Chains A and B, each alone.
Chain A
Amino acid sequence: MSDLRDLYQQVILDHYKRPRNFRKLDEANRKAEGHNPLCGDEITVYLHLDGDVITDISFEGAGCAISKASASMMTAALKGRTRGEAETLFEMFHEMVTGHRDGTADPGGLGKLEVFCGVSEFPVRVKCASLAWHTLRAALEGRNDPVSTE
């Protein structure tokens, strides 16, 4: 049986209660909205892109512990990274939370984001963990339609 503490790790609870980069980014040149109709989670991701580099990133919204902590830790992980690096991280993150990670993945590649590995034991929560990332991708692609996990 999967342990609840694998899902609700202290780091995750900390980011839920004190989310980082939780604000509107006035100087943003990209933004996207995402929502998860199943549980009512809503998020807006703001980006400042300088060429290919994410020079600043923030988010606003309401959601469960997993979605909010995931958004918070995503913003912390992506500041200063390139678009390509962000895409790669999303792919690795997605493989981890959906339990599709094969043996070839770089074990250290996700860094602190590894705390979300417990999500793969809770399939209904995968959408919560990946909502911020889907919204980020929409912001990077400059899409205007809100992203939905459904």
Chain B
Amino acid sequence: MNPAGRQVAGEVCNDCLVGFGVERIRQDFPALQVRVHGKPLVYLDNAATSQKPQVVIDRITRYYLSENSNIHRGVHFLSDLATQAYESTRDRVRQFLNAAHDREIIFTRGTTEGINLVAHSFGRSRVRAGDEIVISAMEHHSNIVPWQILCEEKGATLRVIPVNDAGELLLEEYERLLCDRTRLVAVTYVSNALGTVNPIKPMIATAHRRGIPVLVDGAQAAPHLAVDVQELDCDFYAFSGHKLCGPTGIGILYGKADLLESMPPYQGGGDMISAVTFEKTIYNSLPYKFEAGTPHIAGVIGLGAALEYVQRIGLPRIAAYEADLLAYGTELLSAIPGLRIIGTAREKASVLSFVLDGIHAHDVGTILDHEGIAIRAGHHCAMPVMKRFGVSATARASLAFYNTREELEALAKGLHKVIEVFA
């Protein structure tokens, strides 16, 4: 039982063995009980952000109610308590990613800040004029723009791995792009706009054969796929807490210790130093070297509760349940006249991106909203991939483990309503 006296889905494992128990999981999420325009909320915008379970909300409340203090500097009881809660989350994240050391786990504001950290610190110290950075055609703007800024500053070039019509990376082209001038490969694990799961393990191996480090954007993968950074052998892995049932404003950058050791600090300030004089500053050791200033302590502690919650249900079970939902959703949407799914890769996770003949995604979004159905309409912060598929926008339904087949049926019914309005 959690402090609010409610049962948490992961606590009763007998039930897990019988079935996924989605109805009880749904009870853990207060926001799923909301009614929209007089109808039950059907929340299918999980790729933008997930809802939060009561245990996460309660944990953040408890921190502010009875543990609030600054970390790493207090000699007093509360500071010690807050520091323990903060640092134990670092260890939980290490376990979540199966990283080798706690000091390889850096708390950031989110995936975007993690990527920017690498671009500033690793990028500025390693990339020179004439060098190249390789990204893919399906990147989110957060894994394009930091590299563009870096390339512009250094006189380096951005190279882009193309995709086929299904939304899969062309791996032969990828191999051809790698050369002596390539300083980094930065690629997404799961595409937020298409749902494609990229074969990052062999891609990392390919880059490593040439001695090129690889950053993986794990923002969309983290809520759906169990990750083992040692097995993948990625050099950096960035993700956000808020897509994984945690609070906004907190994220993780994993980096291999030897790389992080060799990189200069990203931001200067308190906590990232060992000693400061006006002549010289000695930087703190990892991971604190990259955590300047008072961090988002409540966010870190809330993320810890979110990871604990998700781990209790288990990512392998989540992935299996979501695969079934995705297959069912794909079948339902494919039967709708005039609907075209954008992103039909063989390996996909939790994203149904689509266009309707003669009806703009924004109108689809407004009419579905009227039915209580929340989807995303637009370019999904991935304008280049939209252009690749010849559309300016798509409607996107994105799934989480608390969604149901009935909700997908509601989506299909809502889409028939959209067509009816425009008939």
Cβ contact within 8 Å between A122 and B392: no
111-163 of chain B: CB within 8 A of chain A: none
A7 lies within 8 A of chain B by Cβ = yes
Cβ contact within 8 Å between A40 and B370: no
Q: Mark A4-47, 1 if CB is under 8 A from B, else 0.
A: 10011000010001000000000000000000011111100000
- Chain A, Cβ-Cβ closest to B364: A64
- Chain A, Cβ-Cβ closest to B387: A40
- Chain B, Cβ-Cβ closest to A7: B366
Cβ contact within 8 Å between B362 and A39: yes
Inside 8 A of A7's CB, which chain B residues have their CB? Answer: 366
Inside 8 A of A63's CB, which chain B residues have their CB? Answer: 360
Q: Bound complex: CA of A64 vs CA of B358, how far in Å? A: 9
Q: Bound complex: CA of A128 vs CA of B363, how far in Å? A: 10
A79 lies within 8 A of chain B by Cβ = no
B276 lies within 8 A of chain A by Cβ = no
B99 lies within 8 A of chain A by Cβ = no
B378 lies within 8 A of chain A by Cβ = yes
Inside 8 A of B363's CB, which chain A residues have their CB? Answer: 8, 64-66
A37 to chain B, nearest CB (A): 8
The SS class assigned to the A binding surface is: mixed
Asked if A40 meets B366 with Cβ closer than 8 Å, knowing A64-B360, A65-B360, the reply is no
Cβ contact within 8 Å between B362 and A4: no
Q: List 27 A-B contacts (CB under 8 A).
A: A1-B38, A4-B366, A4-B367, A8-B363, A8-B367, A8-B422, A17-B358, A38-B378, A39-B360, A39-B361, A39-B393, A40-B386, A41-B392, A42-B392, A63-B360, A64-B361, A64-B362, A64-B363, A65-B360, A65-B363, A65-B422, A66-B362, A66-B363, A124-B366, A125-B362, A125-B366, A128-B362
**Besides A65-B363, A65-B422, 15 other A-B contacts (C-beta < 8 A):** A4-B367, A4-B421, A8-B367, A8-B421, A13-B421, A13-B422, A17-B358, A39-B393, A42-B392, A63-B360, A64-B362, A64-B363, A66-B362, A66-B363, A125-B362
Pairs A-B, 5 closest by C-beta atoms: A40-B392, A64-B360, A64-B362, A40-B393, A39-B362
Q: Residues of B with Cβ closer than 8 Å to A?
A: 37-38, 358-363, 366-367, 370, 377-379, 383, 386, 392-393, 421-422
